[in-house]
Structure 1
């Protein structure tokens, strides 16, 4: 099978047995650029479209659902590819690669198959975990997309000002350390990292105490490290909607808003979370009521280990 682009979008659609407009839509949903009538496609693109035809032919899901799943694949894979290329190219010993007659692309090609195996392994493990969570929610609620969770939001204090004061390399290192340490803490306490936004992370946990432990852990590994900037953490608990790998709902927004009133290296929670934390382990202190955008006047609660 040739890897050289020899096919147009119309060729791909015809060989896959799918309307051209639908094929173009699927390519866009995957995050691929439009190429008009250029010969920019290969047999691999035909096989991918045939997979979609087969999936739709099963009749289990319709095109809209297929497009939503495809969009998630495209967004995730694009970010993963950028992450891998940036990390590998930055740290590979280029001199060694060049001595062997290769370049950065050669290094990535050499490692790609093994990373592909790791990708499939991780996807299957996470898929099993997601199914288990969904079945657990279904056992308690008729709506599998909505459930009660503790939502945490942690951000770096003064990141904008900091990024104007230090080099791009230093900022990149800070973000990398921040994301990796937060990810480790979240996984350790049984939570899920929903997304990372460079200077902030959003995570969820089924158990409010575990969410508190995560917030405490993030402060310990980031804010207590003299080489790292301070952090602020907000927690809120309540019903959220699980959709497209993300979470939505008032607790998500409130957790983010609470970080804006939190002191450095402190945990601020809403009353719903405070009420669920064990009083013999956690000391709660209501703070003065204040206006919080989108929520009116809110009385945050500062929490720490008793």
Structure 2
């Protein structure tokens, strides 16, 4: 930042100092999720340093614009959600302890806890980075394309969430979503899976091992659907080749797992035949269900599974 910490630079000056075209600089700011300020002096030296980081790779190697934009998008989306999460869950509690003469409780909390959160953020990022590299190396040992691999995909959603959200208070819905996401995350981690994303009333996860994916589905039903204080859930599993990009997964198994929840009964697990064939018959009972049309997949014969 500048010595005074005040914004003194225009976007054009940031671009010039970072050695980037102005249009790319503006696009990087937008991709990070920041508002544009036209020709205003709304930027600091920190913005210049950030643009240089995005423009240069290891040892000053120039990064392709598309690569820089993809990395930037991931950072922007992740940090925006993290900031909202922290403000919503932490600041409202900690700020209550701020002195009465503090005009900006948010700034007070940030000043007191910002450095600690920075350390925690870097720690968590390094651990997750090491895990991601290990996964990529494992995939490369089997396939030349590190972005594509065979995985079991699980999709779990809350039954009747829309109707439920119209019947209870916003505070209660917020509590349900928080408990749902937290408990699902715990179960997924316990079975060495990976939570790809949560969507309020649903979670998407992946696992290398179909049996572990099934055990995860069981666990989610046990901690959510079997709890009388929580709504029922449905879980769909599908296995096959998926594309790994920008922290997300894409491909037919992802879509099929989500579709299968639409035909699942409450607190039950429905899988595709690819998953059913990989589950050990001595541990899991499989029962083919009547064939039915599934949007985007034609006529599909789902399989109901449960612990033997």
TM range (shorter): over 0.9
Deviation at 1:33, TM superposition (A): 1.0
> What displacement does 1:56 show?
8.2
Measure the CA separation in 2 of the matches of 1:61 and 1:138. 23
C-alpha separation in 2, matches of 1:253 and 1:23: 36
Q: Deviations over 1:196-250 (max 9, x none)?
A: 0000000000000000010000000000000000000000000000011100000
Question: Which residue of 262, 276, 299 maps to 2:301?
Answer: 299
Distance 1:21 1:238 in 2: 41
1:90-111 Cα distance to aligned partner (Å, 9 max, x none) = 32251x2134736233113211
Inter-partner Cα distance in structure 2 for 1:185 and 1:23: 41
Match of 1:217 in 2: 219
Output the TM-score relative to the length of structure 2: 0.96
Would you say the 8 A contact 2:55–2:63 is kept in 1?
no
SS at match of 2:280: coil
Give the conservation status (yes or no) of the 8 Å contact 1:185–1:218.
yes
Query: Residue 288 of structure 1 aligns with which residue?
Result: 290
Residue 169 (structure 1) aligns with: 171
Give the secondary structure class of the aligned counterpart of 2:200.
Answer: coil
Q: Give the match for residue 65 of structure 1.
A: 67
Distance 2:55 2:223 in 1: 48
| Structure 2: unaligned runs, 5 residues or longer | none
Cα offset for 1:5?
A: 1.5
| Residue range with higher mean Cα deviation, 42-51 or 209-218 | 42-51
Match of 2:90 among 88, 91, 94: 88
Q: CA deviation at 1:27?
A: 0.8
- How does the TM-score come out when normalised to structure 1? 0.96
Asked if residue 97 in structure 1 is aligned to residue 98 in structure 2, the reply is: yes
Q: In 1, distance between residues paired with 2:144 and 2:27? A: 33
Which 5+ residue runs of structure 1 have no aligned equivalent?
Answer: none
Pick from 32, 36, 45 the counterpart of residue 30 of structure 1: 32
Name the SS of the counterpart of 2:56 in structure 1. Answer: helix
1:137 aligns with 2:111: no
Indicate yes or no: 2:283 matched with 1:276: no
Task: Work out the CA distance in 1 between the residues paired with 2:54 and 2:236.
Answer: 41
Checking the alignment, whether the CA contact within 8 Å between 2:55 and 2:68 is kept in structure 1 is no
Q: Is the 8 Å Cα contact of residues 95 and 106 (structure 2) preserved in structure 1? A: no
Looking at structure 1, the residues matched to 62 and 153 of structure 2 have their Cα atoms a distance apart, in angstroms, of: 32
SS in 2 for 1:92: helix
Matches within 5 A, 1:145-224: 145-224=147-226
CA contact under 8 A between 1:88 and 1:108: conserved in structure 2? no
Equivalent pairs, count: 305
Please give the alpha-carbon distance, in whole angstroms, between the structure 2 residues aligned to 1:58 and 1:165.
56
Q: What is the alpha-carbon distance in structure 2 between the residues aligned to residue 18 and residue 284 of structure 1?
A: 58
Change (3 A) 1:93 1:54: closer
Q: Is the 8 A contact 2:95 2:105 kept in 1?
A: no
CA distance in 2, matches of 1:53, 1:272: 43
